[in-house]
Structure 1
Amino acid sequence: MSTPSLNDLIELGAVSEAQGLQGQVKVRPHSSEPVALLSSKAVWLSLIPRRDAGVSASVEQASLTQYKVKSAKMHSGNVVMALEGVSDRDQALALKGARILVARDAFPKADSDSYYWVDLIGCQANNEQGEALGTVIDVTEHGAHGVIVIGDIATNAIKQLVPFVKEVVKNVDLENKTITLDWQSDW
């Protein structure tokens, strides 16, 4: 299989440590519900800095290595993975710090009334009065709830941080790439 485009891969976590003596890795997931990470049959690992650190995509693509996932399970808030070709603790420790990426098309199908946060990036955010607030440039988790980062996608300039809660998020229309919020532009 050829290396996919970096734009087709979604970062879901990072290797934080080796787990046990048989080569399993402990992955710190970026989500409290790492469904896609737990169900992935293959992952891509990269040991170089994040793409927002100024590294060109071609250099980053060259550093990607694909691993087949033999098993994945939750353990104490982390995902413990057994990867094909990683059979001892030393090999697992060599992967410490690697970013775990999964192809977006490998995610399990979302229920009809749910979606993946990554699919919200690029959506136009509007308030209930029809005023354009900006584009969703990120969605992050901050303990109690998620946060929608609204700004300018071309420059990554942040305009607003909006709580991702049902009282604020009134409608998500992925087909039309719009989100309706109970929010004002001057908040």
Structure 2
Amino acid sequence: MSTPSLEDLIELGSIQDAQGLRGQLKVRPYSSDPVALLSSKTVWLSLLPRMAAAQTSVKPSLELYQLKQAKMHSGTVVITLDGVTDRDQALALKGARILVARDTFPKAEADSYYWVDLIGCDAINLQGVNLGQVLDVTENGAHGVIALGNLGDGTTKQLIPFVKDVVQSVDLSKKLITLDWQADW
């Protein structure tokens, strides 16, 4: 298997520490429901932190690992990678970013979306006014929040709750989200 580019991979979490003595890894997932990480068969690890990757011309190295086991444990995900068999090997991976190919994600349920698929979508309101593009999606505890703005310069214009009362439709094939929201709110 050839090494993909970082643009083809989705970052799902980072390795926080070793777990136990047999090479298990404690992962901080970036999602409150890390279904894609828990169901993956293979993962790519990058030892170059995200900020360093953005600020340097050094191409981050990616290593492919078979995922032998993944389970939730006290708010983190504990994984076992093929070839990582003791605590020292696990500690050597501390801080690594975990990336997965988007096309390996499980199919989303009806009216559910992977947030990564929403980024870049145009958002319009019921009157057809363009509200901006989805720059980011975050979780605030009660519900998701989408940041709308301009992808070109990265400026955020507004934050909008991603809830059923506001989100009228999502058409991923057209990269279009229709919201019950006014531009001046």
TM-score (norm 1): 0.93
The residue aligned with 2:15 is: 15
* Length, aligned pairs only: 184
Consecutive unaligned residues in structure 2, runs of 5 or more:
none
Q: Which residue, out of 148, 151, 168, partners 2:149?
A: 151
Could you tell me which amino acid in structure 1 is paired with residue 54 of structure 2? A
Q: Distance in 1 between matches of 2:111 and 2:146?
A: 19
How many Å apart are 1:53 and its aligned residue?
3.3
Cα deviation code 1:19-59 (max 9, x no counterpart): 11100001111111111000000101112131673344x71
Deviations 1:74-126 (A, max 9, x none): 11111100001111111111111111100001111122432211111111001
Runs of 4+ in 1 over 4 A off after TM superposition: none
User: Given the alignment, which residue of 108, 113, 116 partners 2:114?
Assistant: 116
- The one-letter amino acid paired with 2:124 is N
Which residue type is aligned with residue 11 of structure 1? E
Q: Is 1:59 aligned to residue 59 of structure 2? A: yes
Q: Work out which of the residue numbers 107, 125, 128 in structure 2 matches 1:127.
A: 125
Pair 1:155–1:54, CA change in 2 (3 A): farther
Contact 2:49 2:95 in 1 (8 A): no
Q: 1:26 touches 1:81 (CA, 8 Å); kept in 2?
A: yes
Determine if contact 1:49/1:55 at 8 Å carries over to the other structure. Answer: no
Q: Give SS of 1:59's match.
A: coil
Q: Structure 1 vs Structure 2: percent identity of aligned residues?
A: 70
Q: Structure 1 CA distance, aligned partners of 2:13 and 2:71? A: 14
Q: Is the contact between residue 20 and residue 87 of structure 2 (CA under 8 Å) also seen in structure 1? A: yes
User: Is the CA contact (8 Å cut-off) linking 1:15 and 1:99 kept in structure 2?
Assistant: yes
Q: Distance in 2 between matches of 1:28 and 1:148?
A: 22
| Contact residue 3 and residue 64 of structure 1 kept, 8 A | yes
Q: Structure 1: which amino acid aligns with 2:9?
A: L
> Which residue in the other structure is 1:95 paired with?
93
Which residue in 1 is equivalent to 2:35? 35
Equivalent residue number for residue 45 of structure 1:
45
CA distance in 1, matches of 2:94, 2:157: 35
C-alpha RMSD over aligned residues: 1.5
Verify the 8 A CA contact 1:127 1:133 in the aligned structure 2.
yes
Moved more, 45-54 or 124-133: 45-54
Task: Give TM-score, length-normalised by structure 2.
Answer: 0.94
Letter in 1 for 2:89: Q
Would you say the 8 A contact 1:139–1:148 is kept in 2?
yes
Q: Match of 2:55, as an amino acid? A: G
Unmatched segments (≥5 aa) in structure 1: none
1:177 aligns with 2:175: yes
1:70 corresponds to which residue?
68
* Separation in structure 2 between the aligned mates of residue 94 and residue 186 of structure 1, nearest angstrom: 50
Rounded to whole Å, the distance in 2 between the matches of 1:76 and 1:110 is 25
